[in-house]
Structure 1
Amino acid sequence: MSRRPLPELELDITDLTHDGRGVARVDGKAVFVTGALAGERVRALTTARKKSFDEAVATQILQASPDRVHPRCEHFGICGGCALQHLAPDAQVAAKQHTLLENFERIGHVTPQRVLAPLAGEPWGYRRKARLGVKHVAKKGRTLVGFRERDPRFVADIERCEVLVPQVGSRIAALSALVDSLDARALIAQIEVAAGDDATALVFRNLEPLGDEDRAKLRAFGEREGFAIYLQPGNNDSVHPLVGDTISLRFAVPGYDVDFDFRPLDFIQVNGPMNARMIDHALALLDPQPTDRVLDLFCGLGNFTLPLARRAASVVGVEGETTLVQRARDNARRNGVTNVEFHAADLGRDLRGQPWVREGFDKLLLDPPRTGADATIPQLPLAGIGRIVYVSCHPGSLARDAGILVREHGYVLRAAGVMDMFPHTAHVESIALFERG
């Protein structure tokens, strides 16, 4: 018995999903349409039917949005690294602001008293951290290096990337040719990119030890193209330079007389220029005074902690990953910052045994992972904290935690807005200011 073909439809797109697809409705049922923008009328082919929604792909734009633009990247639509290159950058930011405010209303049941002007920067060549997939495809007779396709089973067949830092984005084809030349080409699983201000590292995830000839090819490539080459034969602790000593990867934060050493697999903010602006933005909202004692939670390697220490009396940074805590301490020592201390603690678990929880603070900065801080907030010494700045990489968890701070702890959501840390993607980075009511 043959399966009936899925229908082609004409649809009016009313909104965008969290992952950048258009939203339409047919007889009340949502249809998520890849390649469509809000305000458009499209012809779309249904690709999947599910209980609560259908999925489709736009085959013809019958009435285009005035915000539709021609994507710069020739691989857009296949490569999954970007979702919104067909939407003008200003409209991307507006869509993200709409998503944030809609999440506040729907999930947190709160409304900011003031909507902050969006923070946005250069939308191309910004990405200094990335994980590139590697796949030897026998049918194509070569090895692919790139982001995953929208279907994550496959690595996108690309030659360059417009959002990676140029020294890497312009060399995707060269990286593919390099891996393809290796005897171990089928045993390289991924390449991690980490770019500092003055040096760029490539970490090759090798599933088996490499032979001398392959190691020589990697070394020659690194010397010719200006990359520090690392190998990762096991877990994160196994990362080591192909030859010589670990190089210094470093980024500076202008205006605070601090810079940060980091390792290739350390978490740092993907967008360097926007990170510097975000720090300025967060500190302006938190307004640390020379007499303030500040608590910085989920502090990583001290991205906010050290700049805060330049303005406040003292700062306590807390992070769950012990290697980052040690890196933060080393960075404080190297920068001559003495009014800061760092603690390792799993901030999603019981914190009653942590000595810093019993200390008093005037202000708090939160920068949690996507899961948010709902397990952390009820355990904090909030009694003396008059101002909180919350930096978020997920609008849903921020909205939920905003509801907790407002309804359960007596704070007012004074202001909130988006920061476009990931242009051309649907990722929403945001910031919110809470004050005691």
Structure 2
Amino acid sequence: MSEQTEPLSPPLQDTADQPDLPEGWLAVQSMDLDAQGVARKPDGKVVFIDGALPFEWVSANTHRKKNNWEQASLTDIHRESSQRVRPGCPHFGLHGGACGGCKMQHLDTRAQVAVKQRALEDNLWHLGKVKAETILRPIEGPAWGYRYRARLAVRHVIKKGTVLVGFHERKSRYVADMEVCPVLPPHVSAMLMPLRKLVADMDARDTCPQIELACGDHVTALVLRHLEPLSADDIARLRAFAARHSVQWWLQPKGPDTVKVLDEGGETLSYALPDFGITMPFKPTDFTQVNPHINRVLVSRALRLLDVQKHERVIDWFCGLGNFTLPLATQAREVLGIEGSEALVARSRENYKSNQAQRQDGKALAATDFVARNLFEMTPEMLIADGTADKWLVDPPREGAFALAKALADIEQARIGAEGAGPLPAGAEGWTPPKRIVYVSCNPATLARDAGLLAHLAGYRCVAAGMVNMFPHTAHVESMAVFERA
């Protein structure tokens, strides 16, 4: 959380009675979505405490005060939580210079999952007034070495006489002095110090601000952002590093559309979805899920919950590269993928064609089309123009799918003649809403907002919801919810 951002509330868990503690001690009742312990002073004022865990008794140093809350840092633990663990990374902590990439390494991973599940349920209820009829079992995977995508900052620090490569420090724009990173794949973590030496030896050491990591199943790609053209000597240094560490260099002189592989002819960057016989080629700057272990399970569960039949038409909203679209095409009669980016739509079409060409006889992908459209400006008329679909898969960015949910709600309100509803759009008489929607979310607040529209205005029940631990040791909450026509 930045210093300009107010702490998140309400707390995720509440305990009943305040214990009678010595003066200055605080009983931590819960943890908020910024991984801060939440306590109350005797006068009822809320205190958010960096580093504290639920059910601990602590002392803390307040460094920010508001009328209704204070923000503090942990100074002493008088009763330790049974769920406190030793962090797995030497760069994690509250001290100056600590890495800001993870916030929950001091909490047992099982407890992290419980906190995030509670966050999902609390958001659904407090923001959307929705309770899922069934709570899905959390999707979990490896707690370490999972992060196949990362944006690493690069900084030549003249005063220290060194180059830093890694994430930013906690609540700071400075780059953390990292030697290892256990959440990165082991071979990438072991590459951090060699990367620091590489950049330090380059002529362009002061004009390379970033290295982006993208790991596929068989290729590790590194995208070097460089503000000035690279010298021949620097190109040679990059090639030598690539040969030594088995990586594929890409160069980015300007925006993401300028990214180009340094040497053509190498293996294609891709990941597989083996449950569906799908292989997804991608460029290192394309959006793909950070955690491929979780992504494979996520896609399989989403399609199992959607329960697509061979005679059904399905729409995949916010389809990206086709992460869900192509697996859907192995099950449905027809699929439509809709995405806001023209470039991603073009990449989706390429991925569809390449996978179709590799299918064995009798296992062809269903007829699939891809359309580029601004999904944050959806209207009922646009929704109807896309035609009736039996089922929807919705996988929006953090902003959620408000316009889409609202368009569906507006059609339903017009159909039932609700007070204040607009007229039924042209063509709505022959259009029917989807029987089932699976909504994959990376922000429980926007999911809850959209769930409220679907449940209270669009005629759906939230039949199931559960969290997905895509980012262990962070406060990021990924989740999934299933809606059926009431």
Alignment TM-score, normalising by the size of structure 2: 0.86
Deviation at 1:355, TM superposition (A): 8.3
Corresponding residue for 2:191?
A: 171
Specify which of 149, 158, 162 is matched with residue 138 of structure 1.
158
Q: In the TM superposition, what whole-angstrom CA distance separates every residue of 1:119-138 from its partner, at most 9, and x where no partner exists?
A: 11111101111101111112
- Matched residues in 1 for 2:264 and 2:434: separation? 48
Structure 2: tracts of 5 or more residues without a match = 1-22, 357-364, 413-431
Aligned to 1:47: 63
Deviation by residue 1:148-207 (Cα, 9 ceiling, x = unmatched): 111231111110111112221221111111111112112111110000000011011111
Q: 1:276 aligns with which of 285, 291, 296?
A: 296
CA distance in structure 1 between the partners assigned to 2:449 and 2:127 by the alignment: 6
Is 1:104 paired with 2:124?
yes
Change (3 A) 1:207 1:9: farther
Answer whether contact 1:332 1:338 (CA < 8 A) is retained: no
Q: Does 1:38 align with 2:54?
A: yes
Q: Paired residue for 2:26, among 1, 8, 11? A: 11
State the AA in 2 paired with 1:107. Answer: L
**What is the deviation of 1:139?**
2.1
Contact 1:190-1:204 at 8 Å conserved across structures: yes
> Given that residues 333 and 366 in structure 2 are in contact (C-alpha distance below 8 angstroms), is that contact kept between their aligned partners in structure 1?
no
Deviation at 1:371, TM superposition (A): 0.8
Q: For 1:431 and 1:163, how far apart are their aligned partners in 2?
A: 23
Q: Is residue 332–residue 366 contact of structure 2 (8 Å, CA) maintained in 1?
A: no
Q: Secondary structure at the match of 2:125?
A: helix
Structure-2 change in CA distance of 1:246 and 1:205 (3 Å): farther
Q: Deviations over 1:362-410 (max 9, x none)?
A: 0011001111111122335883311010000000001111100000011
Paired AA for residue 384 in structure 1: P
Output one character per residue of 1:264-315: Cα deviation in whole Å (capped at 9) or x when no partner.
1000011001100001110111100111111110010000011111111111
Structure number with larger C-alpha Rg = 2
What's the CA shift for 1:245?
A: 5.0
Q: What is aligned with 1:403?
A: 452
Change (3 A) 1:384 1:105: closer
2:345 to 316, 320, 325: 325
For the 8 Å contact 1:13–1:22, the answer to whether it is kept is yes
Distance 2:335 2:309 in 1: 12
1:388 maps to 2:425: no
Aligned residue for 1:59, secondary structure, equals strand
Query: Hey, what's the Cα distance between the residues in 2 that align with 1:88 and 1:137?
Result: 35
Report the alpha carbon displacement of residue 353 of structure 1 after superposing the two structures with TM. 7.2
Q: How does 1:78-97 map to 2 (within 5 A)?
A: 78-97=98-117
2:391 matched to 1:359?
no
Letter of the 2:57 partner, please give it. R
Question: Aligned partners of 2:60, 2:383: CA distance in 1, in Å?
Answer: 58
Task: State the SS of the aligned residue for 1:285.
Answer: helix
CA contact (8 A) 1:9 1:45 kept: no
- Root-mean-square deviation over aligned CA pairs: 1.7
- 1:218-229 equivalences under 5 Å are 218-229=238-249
Q: Tell me the amino acid that sits aligned with residue 440 of structure 2.
A: V
Q: Which amino acid aligns with 1:72?
A: G
1:244–1:398 CA distance, 2 compared to 1 (3 A): same
Residues in 2 aligned to 1:435 and 1:18: alpha-carbon distance in whole angstroms: 29
- Alpha-carbon distance in 1 for matches of 2:264, 2:67: 57
Structure 1 unaligned spans of 5+: 1-7
Alpha-carbon distance in structure 2 between the residues aligned to 1:10 and 1:208: 55
In the alignment, does 2:378 pair up with 1:345?
A: no
Matching residue of 1:5: none
Distance 1:138 1:48, change over 3 A: farther
